[in-house]
Amino acid sequence: MSDLLLDIGNSRLKWGVLENGEIRKTGHITQDSIQQHGLQSLTTKLPRSVDSVMASNVAGPSFATRLSGVIGAHCNCEVKFAHSEKRGWGIVNGYRQPRSLGVDRWVAMVGAWAEVSSACLVVDAGTALTLDVLDDDGKHLGGQIIPGADTMQQSLANATSDIPLVKRATKRDSGDMKMFALNTAAAVREGSQNAITGAVERAIQTLQSNAYEPTILLTGGGSSSILGSFDVAPLHRPNLVLQGLQHMLESAK
């Protein structure tokens, strides 16, 4: 048996094929590419023979409707969409209105808890940087949403006349003096990266000062560039949302 897992974000769509309890054949495509070339640019990369399709979608209901029809026809099965719940899979949603919590955040926490089953900080570095905290009982203590590095850089380029749009930062270790830049483009790049890592470090310090010793799980398209930036080494889980979908799917069988 095999199952198709889809992590549908604002900037890109990631997939993986679940076979014999392992996620294999992962890949991704940008939303820009889908807009330019249509959903066929996605389906040509996906298997036709799967038993089920499970998706986490934050790209909006209209995209979900289009995708469901095309993927359903391609794979000859219904696309099931995950939803944020009040409780489930060992964790409790901290939001008063559970469905208002981004489903990608919920599914990532499901994946994190399935792996560590203890206090953790889930860091997803994408279009936005999201931080979510679970305590030792699996209770969601809340989170933060911060513009991602690329979003910050785009905002500066749009709001000013002399600051250029810059390329994404390369991986840099904690304490590297290159964070102090000697040209404008590098200053924007280093500043946005420092804002991201500073927010995560502040969250870690706050948790530690309140007697929590969380495991840090890092995911998202921008995670590799900040992987070495923290004093506390995180668990790098690029496919954490897919892992959460896997746990949901396997728990239902």
Dump pLDDT digits (tens) for 30-71.
999 999 999 999 999 999 889 999 999 999 999 999 999 999
Dump pLDDT digits (tens) for 161-171.
888 887 766 66
174 pLDDT band, cuts 50/70/90, is low
179 pLDDT band, cuts 50/70/90, is confident
Indicate the pTM of the whole model.
Answer: 0.93
CB contact burial 175-200 (16+ within 10 A = b; e otherwise): eeeebeeeeeeeebbbbbbbebbeeb
DSSP H helix total and E strand total for the chain: 7, 12
Q: Residue 113, exposed/middle/buried by CB under 10 A (0-12, 13-18, 19+)? A: buried
In the prediction, which pLDDT does 227 show?
87
Indicate if 173 belongs to the active site: no
What Å distances lie between residue 95 and 92, 176, 210, CA to CA? 9, 38, 21
Of the residues 3, 7, 32, 104, which is catalytic? 104
In the prediction, which pLDDT does 87 show?
98
